[in-house]
Amino acid sequence: MVDYIQIAWQGLVSGFAYALIGLALVMVYKTARILNFAAGTMAGISGFLAHWWAAEQDMPFGVAILFAMIMTGAGTYVIERLTVRPLVKLGDFLPIVIMTLGVEEFLANVSLLWWGGTARRYRVPGDIDRINYLIGDFRLNAWHLVVAITTFLTLSIVGYIINQTELGLGMKAFAEDQDAAKLMGIKESTVSIWTWVLSALVGGVTGIVFAPVLFLQQDYMNIIFIKGFVAAILGGFLSLSGGVAGGLLLGELEAFTIKWAPREFAAALPVVIVFIVLLIRPHGLFTREKGHERV
Amino acid sequence: MSGLKIKDLKVGYGRNEVIHGLDLEVGPGEKVALLGANGAGKSTVLKTISGLLTPSEGVISFNDDEIGGSSPSALVDKGVIQVPEGRRVFPGLNVEDNLKVANYGKSPEFLEEGLETVYKKFPILEERRKQAAGLLSGGQQQMLSLSRAIIAKPKLLLIDEMSLGLAPLLVKEFYEQLGDLFSEDVTLLLVEQNAGLALKYCSRFYVLRNGELVLQSDSAEYVDNPVALQSAYLGVDA
Ligand SMILES: Nc1ncnc2c1ncn2[C@@H]1O[C@H](COP(=O)(O)OP(=O)(O)OP(=O)(O)O)[C@@H](O)[C@H]1O
Ligand SMILES: [Mg+2]
């Protein structure tokens, strides 16, 4: 029994990463109808900055995280203005998506030049990632607890912004009907840029908090990005809570597959899931089928 | 103050020009109808005035302020408000959030005031204010769409086919209410397919066919015989 709880907890912790990246992807897609293929690499750079500043530049951990988040926000602001905005005016979906792929390639190479290709394991304050509590036979890693709390806080803050602030209202209005939102005086470029920044900050938190779990490597967020993408698909790509739920579900499926099936199968799991979901419920597991897009 | 003035407007979608040089004026506080058959280009004209489309040629001015090519949000700030065809409420947002969006970027005080006015005119919206707008009936959605415009405090109001998909009796009620919903001095350009109703409410009208103006006149000359307009609509003798 404890065995199952242990596996379920492990799945939940991985699921947090997929859920957060899924949320970041859905957010941008839903409001701006853009798929951001650079999301994973951007999140990885946030993680690198924070841990590199803390471990190699002797910055206090909290300050390093703060600086990394500021850099993430500012960098994303610049990226959106320079690469996305000029293409949005042309009104086509594909060029923008290709542009985000270009940004991904560029950032991946920058971080490779900066940090090199070897994996590192930076220490976190108090080495708390090496502390394990035993509750009966259940083993609880202290850093995993930090991951859980951070995820919960991040989701709460995003929920608050979406549901209680004017920016959130604008994002929702835009997601529902762009032209009608414009006719209400909502500025497309303002909503778009803050959506990008918010999405990148969610990604940044993920990159930072999961770096000690994953080993810091130049492309360590790529695999999380792919699974975040799967999470978003599970959720139908248009539902924020669907993306989060999809991430948690994927984490659990993965954890229990590893337990019972050969490793090779576990690695193929995301692809299998996407295939099945797209075949049977293309609008996602958690959203009811919507009518066709209004014209 | 000289109201809305459009000179030699050309606009379309991509390379496909839809309006081929339109001249149109609506004096301050005047109520004018823009009529025409399906696909004549009526909505295209409204969308251009409200900034959703950018003119390829021509001048649009409102109260001597050149507004052609401005962004929709800049135009909303100037009081140019469009009630779009098909109502376009945000179906997943509740009624009150729909109204909140109409006050976007403005002080919450205005919203309170606006909500009070709107709920007084349409009590059913207050009753259903926590319900998703997508669940409202067509008529209630039109009330909501008009209410958003009320909250936005228009100086120039553009209404696109209020009658679309609604029962004739309901449409008649809306037209009878219009004068009461918006202040006297609001300048109005109203698009309608149902000429009979529009002529009763507006003092003048234009008829558009295939993106060209084919007739303009005082409503009084046609109000008792809107059928006579059909030849202008369709380009045949009725
Ligand atoms: N988004 C669009 N993209 C391309 N062409 C369009 C678009 N919207 C309208 N058109 C074309 O522009 C022309 C005028 O359309 P418009 O919607 O302005 O007509 P309308 O007079 O409002 O008609 P209706 O009474 O049916 O609403 C039509 O030929 C239509 O096919
Ligand atoms: Mg139309």
Annotated domain spans of chain A: 15-221
Q: Of B15, B71, B17, whose CA–CA distance to B44 is shortest? A: B17
> Among all residues of chain B, which has the CA nearest to that of A190?
B73
* pLDDT greater than 50 at residue A293: no
Rounded CA-CA distance B55/B110 in Å is 32
CA distance to A288, B108, B114, B127, B159, per residue, from B120 (Å): 35, 18, 10, 11, 21
Chain-chain contact of A183 with B52 (C-beta, under 8 angstroms): yes
Q: Rounded to an integer, what distance in angstroms lies between the CA atom of residue A158 and that of residue A198?
A: 8
Tell me the CA distances in angstroms from A259 to A17, A245, B81, B124, B125, one per residue in order.
Answer: 20, 22, 60, 57, 55
In this predicted structure, the answer to whether residue B237 has a pLDDT above a threshold of 70 is no
Contact in structure between A34 and A96 (CB atoms under 8 Å) = yes
- Please tell me the predicted confidence (pLDDT) of residue B193: 84
Q: Are B115 and B96 in contact (CB under 8 A)?
A: yes
Do the Cβ atoms of A7 and A29 come closer than 8 Å?
no
Confidence band, pLDDT 50/70/90 cuts, at residue A290 = low
For residues A22 and A249, give the distance between their C-alpha atoms in angstroms, rounded to a whole number: 12
Confidence label for B195 from pLDDT (cuts 50, 70 and 90): confident
Ligand nearest to the CA of B208: 1
pLDDT score at A214: 82
What average pLDDT does range B116-133 have in this prediction?
A: 97
Low-confidence winner among A208-222, A280-294, B63-77, B217-231 (lowest mean pLDDT) = A280-294
Ligand number with the minimum distance to the CA of B48: 1
Residue B14, both tokens: 């991509």
Tokens found for residue B235 = 């380009």
Q: Are the beta carbons of A183 and B72 separated by less than 8 Å?
A: yes
What was the pLDDT predicted at A123? 81
Q: What is the pLDDT of residues A162-197, one digit of tens each?
A: 999 999 999 999 999 999 999 999 999 999 999 999
Whether the predicted pLDDT of A294 surpasses 90: no
A20 in Cβ contact with A26 (< 8 Å): no
Lowest mean pLDDT among A117-131, A133-147, B54-68, B109-123: A117-131
- Measured distance CA(A35)–CA(A26) in Å, rounded: 8
Look up residue A240 and give its two tokens: 């924020």
Query: Is A114's pLDDT higher than 80?
Result: yes
Number of the ligand closest to the Cα of B39: 1
Dist CA B212 CA A159 (whole Å)? 50
CB contacts of B134 in chain A (<8 Å) are none
Closest-CA residue of chain A to B83: A183
**Distance from the alpha carbon of residue B160 to the mean position of ligand 1, in angstroms:** 12
Q: Give me the residues paired with residue B209 across strands.
A: B212
CA of B201 to the centre of ligand 1 (A): 25
pLDDT of residue B197: 86
Q: What is the pLDDT of residue A67?
A: 97
- Distances, alpha carbon A38 to alpha carbons A83, A207, B3, in Å: 12, 13, 49
pLDDT of residue A46: 96
More confident residue, A126 or A204: A204
Residue B231 has pLDDT above 90, yes or no: no
Tell me the mean pLDDT in the region B78-101.
Answer: 97
Best mutation target, A179, A182, A183, to test chain B (most B CBs within 10 A): A183
Lowest-confidence segment of A90-99, A147-156, B91-100 by average pLDDT: A90-99
The more confidently predicted of residues A266 and A124 is A124
Whether A193 contacts A80, CB under 8 Å: yes
Q: Cα–Cα distance between B228 and A22 in angstroms, integer?
A: 60
- Residue bearing tokens 């679309």: B164
**CA-CA distances (angstroms) from residue A71 to A23, A77, A78, A103, A200?**
20, 10, 10, 16, 10
Assess whether the C-beta atom of B40 lies below 6 angstroms from ligand 1: yes
The pLDDT value given to residue A288: 66
What's the Cα-to-Cα distance from A125 to each of A17, A131, A141, B205, rounded to whole Å?
A: 21, 11, 15, 75
**A70 vs B198, residue with greater confidence:** A70
Please count the residue pairs, one from chain A and one from chain B, whose beta carbons lie less than 8 angstroms apart. Answer: 66
CB-based contact B195:B227 (threshold 8 Å): no
Q: Is the pLDDT of residue A291 over 70?
A: no
pLDDT 10s digits, A235-288: 988 999 999 999 999 999 999 888 888 877 877 888 888 888 888 888 888 776
User: What pTM did the predictor assign?
Assistant: 0.91
Closest atom of ligand 1 to CA, residue B211: 14
**Which tokens in the block code for residue B47?**
């969308």
- In what side-by-side order are the strands of the sheet with B204-209? B80-83, B156-160, B187-192, B31-36, B204-209, B212-218
B134 Cβ closer than 6 Å to some ligand 1 atom: no
Q: How far is CA B238 from CA A105, B42, B130, B229, in A?
A: 65, 22, 49, 8
Measured in degrees and rounded to the nearest 5, phi and psi for residue B49 equal -65, -35
SS3 call for A138: strand
Rounded percentage of chain B residues whose pLDDT exceeds 70: 98
A207 vs B236: which has the higher pLDDT: A207
CA distance B102 to A169: 11
pLDDT of res. B26: 97
Task: State the pLDDT at residue A240.
Answer: 94
pLDDT of A295 above 50: no
Find the mean pLDDT for residues B133-147: 96
Give the closest residue (by CA) to ligand 1 atom 10: B13
Distance CA A28, CA A33 (A): 7
Q: Which of B90, B97, B107, B142 to mutate to test the interface with A (most CBs of A within 10 A)?
A: B90
Question: A63: pLDDT confidence band, cut at 50, 70 and 90?
Answer: very high
Long-range interactions of A95-98: CB distance < 8 A, separation 24+: A96/A34, A97/A34, A97/A35, A97/A37
Residue A218 burial (CB count, 10 A): 22
pLDDT over 70 (residue B238): no
pLDDT at A261: 83
The answer to whether residues B133 and B91 touch, using CB atoms and an 8 Å cutoff, is: yes
- Of the given ranges (A10-19, A229-238, A279-288, B105-114), which has the lowest mean pLDDT? A279-288
